[in-house]
């Protein structure tokens, strides 16, 4: 809780050899996959009304019209407008996801923004205790990575806007890059390093 250094850990060489473009591609895909694709317009066949010819074909001196729901009329259909059928999803290979995370972690380590702790646990379940833990690291915002999130710790961190509590399976390159610092449990760190 007092953020005192007990000992330091080394980062494997494999983390340092990852090309940064892997992180860029992963973050681009991550953001694209969040897009809602909800922009939708109606064409002339979908708007209501317009079943009757507005005026006679000949004799009025005006251009011929078949429906008041044609695109040139107010309230008419939209030509070539967006429909929610568009899919923005981008595929990222499993290996590239891994490389993106490795590079993001390596960047944080280079800037001394990764803190390995024995345990992240707020037994009281109180937000003020979670805030005290967050403040002890003196960072803008912090990603906390816990092996298994218990109810009390979840409740404590739930309302702390500058921090985010995740389990190892939720940890990815985007989150690791987005947050100013990472606080990670020792067991999770050992698994992360071992898998590389």
How high is the pLDDT of residue 5? 77
Q: Which sign, positive or negative, has the C-alpha torsion 184, 189, 195, 196?
A: positive
What's the rounded Cα separation, in Å, for the pair 76 and 78? Answer: 7
In tens, the pLDDT along 139-150 reads 999 999 999 999
Residue 3 has pLDDT above 70, yes or no: no
Residue 98 has pLDDT above 70, yes or no: yes
- Give the least confident one: 84-88, 178-182, 186-190: 84-88
Contact 49, 69 (CB under 8 A): yes
Residue 71 has pLDDT above 80, yes or no: yes
Residue 85 has pLDDT above 80, yes or no: no
Under CATH, which number does the domain 92-195 receive?
3.40.1370.10
Q: Which residues pair with 117 in a beta bridge?
A: 185
**pLDDT, mean of residues 10-27:** 92
Residue 184 has pLDDT above 90, yes or no: yes
Residue 189 has pLDDT above 70, yes or no: yes
How high is the pLDDT of residue 87? 87
Q: For the chain, give the mean pLDDT.
A: 92
Residue 2 has pLDDT above 70, yes or no: no
**pLDDT, mean of residues 77-100:** 91
Contact 22, 99 (CB under 8 A): yes
What's the rounded Cα separation, in Å, for the pair 65 and 45? Answer: 15
How high is the pLDDT of residue 86? 82
Grouping H, G, I as helix, E, B as strand and the rest as coil, residue 142 is strand
């Amino acid at each position: 809780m007092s953020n005192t250094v007990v000992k330091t850990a080394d980062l494997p060489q494999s983390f340092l050899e990852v090309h940064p473009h892997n992180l860029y591609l992963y973050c681009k895909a991550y953001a694209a996959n969040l897009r809602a694709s909800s922009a939708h317009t109606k064409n002339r066949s979908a708007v209501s009304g317009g079943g009757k010819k507005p005026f006679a074909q000949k004799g009025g001196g005006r251009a011929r019209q078949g429906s008041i729901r044609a695109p040139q009329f107010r309230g008419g259909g939209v030509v070539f407008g967006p429909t929610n059928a568009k899919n923005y999803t981008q595929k990222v290979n499993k290996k590239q996801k891994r490389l993106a995370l490795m590079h993001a972690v390596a960047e944080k380590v280079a800037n001394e923004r990764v803190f390995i702790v024995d345990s992240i646990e707020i037994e009281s379940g109180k937000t003020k205790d979670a805030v005290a833990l967050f403040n002890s690291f003196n960072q803008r915002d912090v990603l906390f990575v816990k092996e298994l999130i218990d109810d009390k710790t979840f409740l404590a961190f739930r309302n702390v806007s500058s921090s985010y509590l995740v389990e190892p399976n939720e940890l990815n390159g985007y989150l690791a890059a987005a947050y100013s610092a990472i606080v990670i449990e020792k067991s999770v760190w050992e698994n992360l390093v071992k898998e590389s």
